[in-house]
Structure 1
Amino acid sequence: MRLDGVLFFPVTPFDEAGAVAETALAEHVAQGVAAGAGGVFTACGTGEFNALDLDDYTRVVAGSVAATGGRVPVFAGAGGPAPAARAFAAAAAARGADGLLLMPPYLVSSPAEGLVRYVREVVAATDLPVIVYHRGNARFTPAAAAEVAAIPQVIGLKDGLGDFDLLQRIILTVRRAVDRDFTFFNGLPTAEFTVPAYRGLGVNLYSSAVFAFAPEIALAFYKGVTAGDDDLVQRLLTDFYLPLVTLRDQVPGYAVALIKAGVRLRGLDVGGVRAPLIDPTPEHVARLERIMNTGLEIAGA
């Protein structure tokens, strides 16, 4: 399965009672696909996987698959305690997902061989292709990454660390050890901000949280990068992404909460975030709106 273009990580809408708002989810996903997403990664970090129970998760995956209508691949998040990760993986397969993004195990630190064991145990619960998330306490050594990449169902690695020395070692080790297509992509928060650095390592694919609330900006940036329009890329990085990243770093969890606020600013009621996250202050929402409007102007939207 080949992924290309801008990868869309939708938020998970909640209604006033705190339940998954399935109608809003369907509209949100359908809008993203119509805008030109290259793939949908649902119930992942931006989708508050950490705050979903199995019933919530099942509704989100089923709704995303239905709204996508087979136009692009749908990957669903899985992770946490190994038994829970296996249950989520099975549920995603049963609801028609095309693949999984395997996020870190719950809390504990572990040796590299333990991470490999974790991946093997979750992968064994499903026939779906799996992308492994390299982030947090799931920090793979080059040798462990190569061992994981040798598992036939594992098709890629999403880097959320930004340790370029380690990532280069992983890429070289995996490419030498695995004789098949294997995808690496930039999964840092607000990934566009580091796209030029990742492209220097030959990692061109990236996730885009901005696409969830401003696909016009995300697509303008992508077109600028792929077409070699350095002036447009630098303007967006300087006048949109830099202020956005600065605001994001004001409060832990804003990498998700700001995105959800942005979706609301664009007219779709997706509710607030679940604990332990908090919604942005009115001052920060107003600041986000100014940043977004600047980005839309640069993008010509």
Structure 2
Amino acid sequence: MTDPTHTATEPPFGRLLTAMVTPFDEKGELDLATARALAAHLVDDLRHDGLVINGTTGEAPTTSDEEKAALVAAVVDEVGDRAHIVAGVGTNSTRHTCELARQAAGAGADGLLVVTPYYSRPPQEGLLAHFRAAADATDLPVIVYDIPSRAGIPVQTETMLALAEHPRIVAVKDAKGQIVESAKVIAATDLAYYAGDDAITLPLLSVGGVGLVGTSTHFTGLLARQIIDAWVAGDAATALALNQRALPVFTGVFAAQGCSMVKATLARQGRPAGDLRAPQLLPADDVVDAYVDKLRAVDLF
């Protein structure tokens, strides 16, 4: 569904996406039927333009390459006619990342999410080579995922400017928390900036961002959509009021690891997606209770 050419006013993957959890059954195996149902709910009921599959929230470090391919293929089959399906393929090995990129393309993905190589902390020149290799591995458009709190290093502004010259590197999932540096790249390039932290959606929109790849949006999708739509329509006052209403649920989902809070809350909602694979654990009941209360306070539960 995705054309790798775009402008800032025509986001390459729509405006609202969720990094979807990966459902497992009672034996801890991949549950494709539940994945299909969850994808359809997010797209059809919560008005998502796209889904990111096999991201951190999807517990990608614990799933096999074969499971990743099967999950992408199932979600593409379920909602690919009406949503952009982006596959997370980033690892701290350039070779493996390129292999996963080709696999995701073969499974029908519309785009690729490539996270900064984690733990090994390569130099910026290594980051350039890594992202360019991933973009060269297929014909699919690429989102660079900049999240130094997890990866250990940022994609520096100069590096991002250089990456923007690649014709298939079209977007950034921005979880760096440096809005001024993001604004510099937005001003100097055609890269489409998506908030990678739910709570920075409106600040990022205000400097030229295009939307959100969210986690709380498993529950807050309609509210996030209203914020984005209000801003795009030029109604800043409404966007601000809605954002202030949403902040407790945007931030509250991270009282535990995003994937664990989402799965626990989905179960409370009657949409169980199974347990988490080790080493992740479900949060304590009182932590989930507190988040459910926040959702109830804004009529989202």
Q: Is the structural similarity TM-score above 0.5? A: yes
1:69 aligns with 2:80: yes
Q: TM-score, normalised by structure 1?
A: 0.86
Aligned length: 285
Alignment-derived partner of residue 163 in structure 2: 148
Q: What's the RMSD between the two structures over aligned residues?
A: 2.2
CA-CA distance at 1:172 after TM superposition = 3.5
Partner SS, residue 271 of structure 2: coil
> How far apart are the structure 2 equivalents of 1:129 and 1:264?
34
Q: Following superposition of structure 1 onto structure 2, how do residues 1-301 of structure 1 map, counting pairs within 5 Å?
A: 1=3, 2-35=12-45, 36-80=47-91, 81-136=93-148, 137-173=152-188, 175=189, 181-188=190-197, 191=198, 193-226=199-232, 228=235, 230=237, 233-234=240-241, 237-238=244-245, 240-242=246-248, 245-246=251-252, 248-249=254-255, 251=256, 254-296=257-299
Aligned partner letter, 2:105: A
Contact 1:244/1:291 (8 A) holds in 2? no
CA-CA distance at 1:79 after TM superposition = 1.0
Alignment-derived partner of residue 178 in structure 1: none
Partner SS, residue 296 of structure 1: coil
- Runs of 5+ unmatched residues, structure 1: 176-180
Contact 2:116/2:145 (8 A) holds in 1? yes
Aligned partner letter, 1:165: V
CA-CA distance at 1:166 after TM superposition = 2.1
Query: Which piece of structure 1 moves more, 226-235 or 98-107?
Result: 226-235
Contact 1:236/1:295 (8 A) holds in 2? no
CA-CA distance at 1:89 after TM superposition = 0.7
Aligned partner letter, 2:16: V
Q: Alpha carbons of 1:124 and 1:8: their partners in 2 closer, same or farther (altered >3 Å)?
A: same
Aligned partner letter, 2:162: E
Contact 2:15/2:210 (8 A) holds in 1? no
Contact 1:217/1:295 (8 A) holds in 2? no
Contact 1:130/1:155 (8 A) holds in 2? yes
Q: Percent identity?
A: 24
Partner SS, residue 101 of structure 1: strand
Aligned partner letter, 2:113: L
Query: Which piece of structure 1 moves more, 52-61 or 215-224?
Result: 215-224
Q: TM-score, normalised by structure 2?
A: 0.86
Contact 2:216/2:253 (8 A) holds in 1? no
Contact 1:41/1:77 (8 A) holds in 2? yes
- Runs of 5+ unmatched residues, structure 2: 4-11
Task: Note the alpha carbon deviations across 1:38-66, whole angstroms, 9 max, x for none.
Answer: 11111112212222210121111111111
Q: Alpha carbons of 1:223 and 1:201: their partners in 2 closer, same or farther (altered >3 Å)?
A: closer
Query: Which piece of structure 1 moves more, 38-47 or 222-231?
Result: 222-231
Task: Note the alpha carbon deviations across 1:240-260, whole angstroms, 9 max, x for none.
Answer: 5326625624x4xx2221122
